[in-house]
Chain A
Amino acid sequence: MDLHHFLTPPAETARRKGPYDRIVTSSRVRLARNLREAPFPGWGKKQDRIRILEAIRPAVATLPEMKESFFETMDTLSTLDKQILVERHLISREHAAKGVGSGLVLNREETLCFMINEEDHLRMQALRPGLQLRQAWAAIDQADSALEKRLDYAFSPELGYLTACPTNLGTGIRVSAMLHLPGLVLAEQINPIIQSVNKLGLAVRGLYGEGTEALGNVFQVSNQMTLGESESAIVERLEKVLAQIIEHEENARATLLEKKTKMMFNHIGRAYGILANAHSISSKETMNLLSLMRMGVDVGLFPGVDRALVDELFILTQPAHLQKQHSEKLSAEERDLLRADMVRERLKSVSRPIPKSPGAVDAGLDKAEK
């Protein structure tokens, strides 16, 4: 099956709604599992990995929620398709680098995704738009409970689920949320926030996960410890911290609007100006400017403009997505030209931001809140 026909069109993805999606773009819960009778993928031989893939894949296929699913081995997927999956946050960059003996199973709604032979034999994740950690945990817990009847998991009563890396040992759970925090970045409050979140034993990462930059002011917050704490306790702890971060971000935006109105309007106005008029623009610059525009929409500076317009561009302007829209192989320079063309075209219908008096801005905030 062609991946491109299977994946939800970006226009539709950008319209998915969830609680607090002004700030929380998505929630994810991932579980790491391994089979008892085989070496971990990184140490096993090719034959071991193929055997594991052939054991896990049919088990996953029997799940009712995976009825209409996409399955492909990593050696048959093109580099471009793998990159598209990374840009959609459906697989890790590590998994994209895998070949023979690794595979991927994805459901139609793109809410469940199974990576076979990534770092562990099985890494399964549930995804939800907005802040829905509990729902994501419930979904993946259910899938895992069904799978344990068919797969002989490596489990020790003392150490829990055994994983290739000791950092995932125990529950094998990684609970995470993607946050859009332009207010905290602009107010220069992001570093102390990251530090205090780290102190609580949580990790803060960039847009594409481990070891990546926070492009477009998007940060990923997740638990680090997996042993000695139950799954529900981890979910709860993360929920509490996220609620705090959301509040800080809202406060930062409100304070900027009230006390640094000119600075805020200047950033958003310039972002719009460049995006609507550039003839060559890099992916990084596009993301950073779209982030500011998204905040502009949130605080009511672009009346009548749907956030989905910005979110769709966020997906479409990434390198692999841009390449996919053109048949010939593009160089980075050519991509920058085509990206600028696309953004200009899409922003044709968007009027320039309308600065408001502080009172009117408050009204805008309230409206956006609903």
Chain B
Amino acid sequence: MLCCVCKEKEATVHLTQIAGDKMQKVDLCEECAKTKGVNDPTGFSLADLLLGLGASQEIEQAGGGAEVKCPRCGFTQADFKKAGRLGCPDCYKTFSDALEGLLKTMHKGTRHVGKVPESLRQSRDLADRLKTLQKKLAKAIEAEDFEEAAILRDEIKQTTVRLSSPAAT
């Protein structure tokens, strides 16, 4: 296996980093490992190294590459850096990876706790109810309580219908 930086010498240093649910691998030769500071664990970040190498687009997006552009409003990462504001509500999806760290330092949590618009709350409650019913159903089947299972199945059917047609709620 060749070193992925100089692509000349044999790779002898193999690194794996797991960040969230993503795994990244790098293979380096002795010399390149030293120049990239791999021997010093405090000063080394695999993500930086991979970005520096101009690795695959997917990784670049994960690291918040400069070329990411909101498909809806055309806002770019560079615009965000300049303005400190986002372009449109969809930007939160577009730049979600880059924003995650930022939100963590800024706020108490990264998940919304608090008011939810009434219409959404109803469907969320229904979705929660559906989950509970399905769990109960699985238990009933396991216990071979088919009478109970039949009742639960009907309730699940009703809840599913209500969930898919919010006007009916």
Show the binding face of A for B, using Cβ within 8 Å: 34, 36, 38-40, 42-44, 119, 141, 144-145, 148-149, 153-162, 164-167, 169-171, 173, 201, 225-231, 233
Contacts and interface: CB of A to CB of B under 8 A. Distances in A.
Contacts of A141: 115
Interface centre among B79, B83, B107, B115 (most CB of A within 10 A): B115
B85 A228 contact: no
A201 to B, nearest CB: 7
A233 B124 CA distance: 22
Given A39-B73, A43-B75, A228-B111, A157 B85 contact: no
A302 to B, nearest CB: 45
B92 interface: yes
Interface string B81-103: 00111111100100000010011
Interface residues of B, number: 30
A227 B86 contact: no
B168 interface: no
Given A43-B75, A160-B116, A169-B103, 12 more contacts: A40-B87, A40-B89, A43-B88, A148-B118, A148-B119, A149-B118, A154-B89, A155-B116, A157-B124, A165-B84, A171-B112, A228-B112
7 cross-chain pairs, A with B, having the tightest CB-CB distances, nearest first: A228-B109, A160-B112, A154-B89, A227-B107, A228-B108, A43-B87, A230-B114
28 contacts: A39-B75, A40-B87, A40-B89, A42-B83, A43-B79, A43-B83, A43-B87, A148-B117, A155-B117, A155-B120, A157-B112, A159-B111, A159-B112, A164-B86, A165-B84, A165-B86, A166-B99, A166-B106, A170-B114, A171-B115, A226-B107, A227-B107, A227-B108, A228-B109, A228-B113, A229-B109, A230-B113, A230-B115
Nearest to B107: A227
Interface of B: 73, 75, 79, 83-89, 92, 99, 102-103, 106-120, 124
Contacts of A231: 114-115
A167 B109 CA distance: 12
A162 B89 contact: yes
Contact of A160 (B79, B84, B114, B119): B114
A261 to B, nearest CB: 44
A159 B87 contact: no
A253 to B, nearest CB: 34
A119 B115 contact: no
B89 A166 contact: no
Contacts of B124: 157
Contacts of A155: 116-117, 120
A144 B115 CA distance: 10
A55 to B, nearest CB: 15
B102 A166 contact: yes
A166 B117 contact: no
Given A148-B117, A166-B102, A227 B110 contact: yes
A32 to B, nearest CB: 12
B99 A43 contact: no
Contact of A43 (B73, B102, B113, B118): B73
A119 B107 contact: no
A167 B106 contact: yes
Contacts of B88: 38-40, 43-44
Contacts of A173: 114
Contacts of A34: 89
A44 B83 CA distance: 13
B113 A166 contact: no
Contacts of A164: 85-86
Contacts of B99: 166
A227 B92 CA distance: 14
Contacts of A40: 85-89
Given A160-B112, A227-B109, A42 B89 contact: no
A201 B112 contact: no
Best-buried of B88, B99, B102, B120 by chain A (most CB within 10 Å): B88
Contacts of B83: 42-43
Contacts of A170: 107, 112-114
Nearest to A34: B89
Contact of B107 (A39, A228, A233): A228
